[in-house]
Amino acid sequence: MTKKLNPGTLCVQAGWTPKNGEPRVLPIYQSTTFKYDSSEEMARLFVLEESGFFYTRLLKSWTDAVAAKIAALEGGVGAVLTSSGQAANFYAMHNLCEAGDHLVCATAIYGGTFNLFGVTMKKMGIDCTFVDADASEEEISRAFRPNTKALFGETISNPGIQVLDIEKFARIAHSHGVPLIVDNTFATPINCRPFEWGADIVTHSTTKYMDGHAVSLGGAIVDSGRFDWDAYADRFPGLTKPDASYHGLTYTKAFGKMAYITKINAQLMRDLGSTQSPQNAFLLNLGLETLHLRVPQHCRNAQTVAEYLERHPRVAWVHYCGLKSSKYYELAQKYLPNGACGVIAFGLKGTREDAVHFMDSLRMICIVTHVADARTCVLHPASHTHRQLSDEQLREAGIAPDLIRLSVGIEDVEDILDDIRQALDKL
């Protein structure tokens, strides 16, 4: 029996297993096309009778290895890489939903995803009901309709740092015969593996901790392979009924547990084409090799900074689930016992102008439209990443107007504290 490898080893070794004489490091296949000796071979690839690489929009030799590494880390049966985290969430949902369908989603999610589900997909005829993730199971269940196709939430919300009760959400989803999709970007599989708590599909913005250096844009979708699509065949015809665009092929019959991922690759990538570039996949793989080392350092630093902010007289409030004062501390101990993430949300005593003055006074810590990489950075979501949301939508998403999002990096924590201290002293 093959020994089950630990996450740290999977980060370094999974996905790419070189054969004799092949490169030790995952190569970059900088080619859009692949040569075959016969027309018949190519034909079998296009009707999914055989697996192989033939055009990069459809199947991607370089990204498959990186996707396999992420699938191994999450404990899934398969994965696919996308061009961005937004593309990952769109594909994950659109693989199940079509015009006339409905989904249920936690309000406490990234602003871009909130807009994607609540505005853009609505224009495509797919409706979304947002629910308070902290509400009772009965209240959340009332949001479901006969045409509901999925329930969605974030392990740790961006930027509110709320912790999702994954088991509760899984019970709700499965009681209504739909899968639970969880965005695991902030926690990463180093700190939480949602499949172990009942989730069915996991998404990531690999642009964040997985890359870890702010150099490559990307996303990932991982399938647990556990949701029984055929048990709800009428609800998920795209997976359980013949696909006319592939000569009547039925994904669940042809591919079993790989049906969901195969459909994304064969159908959505074919028609929409949000593929990850070979260079970005290569850089992502390099980031993944140190993920198990970086994430604990992010968490240690963030815990120290959060405790400092909580004690500071100029700080009005701090949201970090590693603090015992946090509303989500007990949930974090359950789902994230080894640490949560490096992101802290806090507010200052005073006005929005005070928050701006604080950020402008930082020296080492930079104001950037990014989060979750090696360098400490700061952002005012209401003014920046979530600017497209109304005040009402901001409140629904758990984002206060004074919320400052601090993404704590892996620098020496004393230097991070010194920069925060001198900026607060200027208020």
Domain boundaries, the chain: 17-287, 293-425
Measured distance CA(211)–CA(287) in Å, rounded: 4
Average pLDDT on 318-326 reads 97
Per-residue model confidence as pLDDT tens digits over 178-223: 999 999 999 999 999 999 999 999 999 999 999 999 999 999 999 9
- Residue 387: pLDDT band (50, 70, 90) is low
Average pLDDT on 364-369 reads 94
Nearest alpha carbon to residue 183 among 149, 207, 216: 207
pLDDT for 58: 67
416 has pLDDT over 80: yes
Per-residue model confidence as pLDDT tens digits over 87-96: 999 999 999 9
C-alpha distance from residue 233 to each of 177, 310, 401 (Å): 10, 51, 45
Class of domain 293-425 as given by CATH: alpha beta
C-alpha distance from residue 248 to each of 124, 243, 257 (Å): 25, 5, 19
1 has pLDDT over 50: no
350 has pLDDT over 60: yes
CATH architecture of the domain covering 17-287: 3-Layer(aba) Sandwich (3.40)
Token pair of 31, please?
A: 């080619």
Measured distance CA(27)–CA(282) in Å, rounded: 8
Give the residue carrying structure tokens 């079509």.
98
Question: How far is C-alpha 339 from the chain's CA centre?
Answer: 17
Average pLDDT on 355-374 reads 93
**What are the beta bridge partners of residue 222?**
79, 202
Per the prediction, the chain carries an average pLDDT of 92
pLDDT for 55: 67
397 has pLDDT over 50: yes
pLDDT for 38: 81
pLDDT for 59: 61
Per-residue model confidence as pLDDT tens digits over 266-299: 899 989 989 998 899 999 999 999 999 999 999 9
Provide the residue type at 124 as one letter: M
Per-residue model confidence as pLDDT tens digits over 252-266: 999 999 999 999 998
**Tally of CB atoms within 10 A around 313:** 7
Measured distance CA(159)–CA(152) in Å, rounded: 16
pLDDT for 32: 77
2 has pLDDT over 70: no
- Residue 353: pLDDT band (50, 70, 90) is confident
pLDDT for 309: 98
69 has pLDDT over 90: yes
User: Among 268-272, 332-336, 342-346, 406-410, which is the least confidently predicted range?
Assistant: 268-272
C-alpha distance from residue 320 to each of 158, 161, 340 (Å): 12, 6, 9
What pTM was computed for the model? 0.93
* Number of residues written out for the chain: 427
More confident site: 57 or 175 = 175
C-alpha distance from residue 287 to each of 12, 120, 203, 284, 294 (Å): 10, 31, 17, 5, 9
**What are the beta bridge partners of residue 154?**
183
